[in-house]
Amino acid sequence: MDPDALAKAFVEHYYSTFDTNRNGLANLYQEGSMLTFEGQKIQGASNIVAKLTSLPFQQCHHSISTVDCQPSGVNAGMLVFVSGNLQLAGEQHTLKFSQMFHLIPTPQGSYYVLNDIFRLNYA
Amino acid sequence: MDPDALAKAFVEHYYSTFDTNRNNLANLYQEGSMLSFEGQKIQGSHNIVAKLTSLPFQQCQHSITTVDSQPSGVNAAMLVFVSGNLQLAGEQHALKFSQMFHLIPTPQGSYYVLNDIFRLNYA
């Protein structure tokens, strides 16, 4: 699969899972995975999903504006850089966000997230 | 040096060089380096600096809002994720931007940029 198409497919999968069932994201992280969420550093799939499921909103919707990808030079890994809007249920205005993922291939032919950094872009 | 301090030092160096003499950024890239600039893909130090020096403004000032860093999983390499404001000379309003760098250690004990992805965050 073309890297840009693969990155877009991952992004669609990640955010649709986030928006419908955050617990389902556990499959995308491993014990060595790292999330920096608004500056807070979290390591390991269990801790990352605990963080994401403890966010102070039940429903949200990500709409993606841009997806950029480059090979990371690490074992056929891929860097994916996303920008978009996050709509929280009951809120009138969306929040702008940027996020980067470092995806590493798994022996099963899929990818997991080794590095994940998320920031809201405050207006 | 602490990784967060190292990332901040790199970021200060990169943007002060960008804001004063973009040609000197050539030292921070190598032939295998990749820049995605607003979706345009450019490879190699020479081509990257040609792109950055051909941008349609002579003077600019980056002010940095956030710097996040994580180890990228190989040989002390580092992922750096930056958000900030870009002020162009003569423009009243700053532009919001996000950028990520994948920094690889050099044998000389410094770092070079292997991956660089830049996006403006349109309001």
pLDDT tens digits, residue range A13-49?
999 999 999 999 998 999 899 999 999 999 899 999 9
Dist CA B85 CA B93 (whole Å): 9
CATH topology for B3-120 is Nuclear Transport Factor 2; Chain: A, (3.10.450)
Structure tokens at B101: 């760098």
Evaluate whether B37 touches B101 at the Cβ level (below 8 Å): no
Instruction: Specify the pLDDT at position B92.
Output: 77
Phi, psi of B122 (to 5 degrees): -65, 135
Residues recorded for chain B = 123
pLDDT tens digits, residue range B47-93?
999 999 998 887 798 999 999 999 998 678 989 999 999 988 888 78
State the smallest CA–CA distance between residue A39 and chain B in angstroms.
7
Q: How many CB atoms lie within 10 A of CB A101?
A: 25
Structure tokens at B96: 């919001």
What residues does each domain of chain A span?
Answer: 1-118
B9: CB partners within 8 A, 6+ apart = B1
Which of B29, B30, B64, B70 to mutate to probe the A interface, most A CBs <10 Å? B70
Q: Which helix (H) or strand (E) holds B96?
A: strand B95-105
Beta strands in A50-120 (DSSP E): 60-71, 78-88, 95-105, 111-120
State the smallest CA–CA distance between residue B109 and chain A in angstroms.
19
Instruction: Specify the pLDDT at position A99.
Output: 97
Residue A74 has pLDDT above 80, yes or no: no
Closest partner residue to A117 (CB to CB) among B36, B39, B79 is: B79
Closest partner residue to A70 (CB to CB) among B34, B65, B121 is: B34
Report the CATH number of the A1-118 domain: 3.10.450.50
ipTM: 0.92
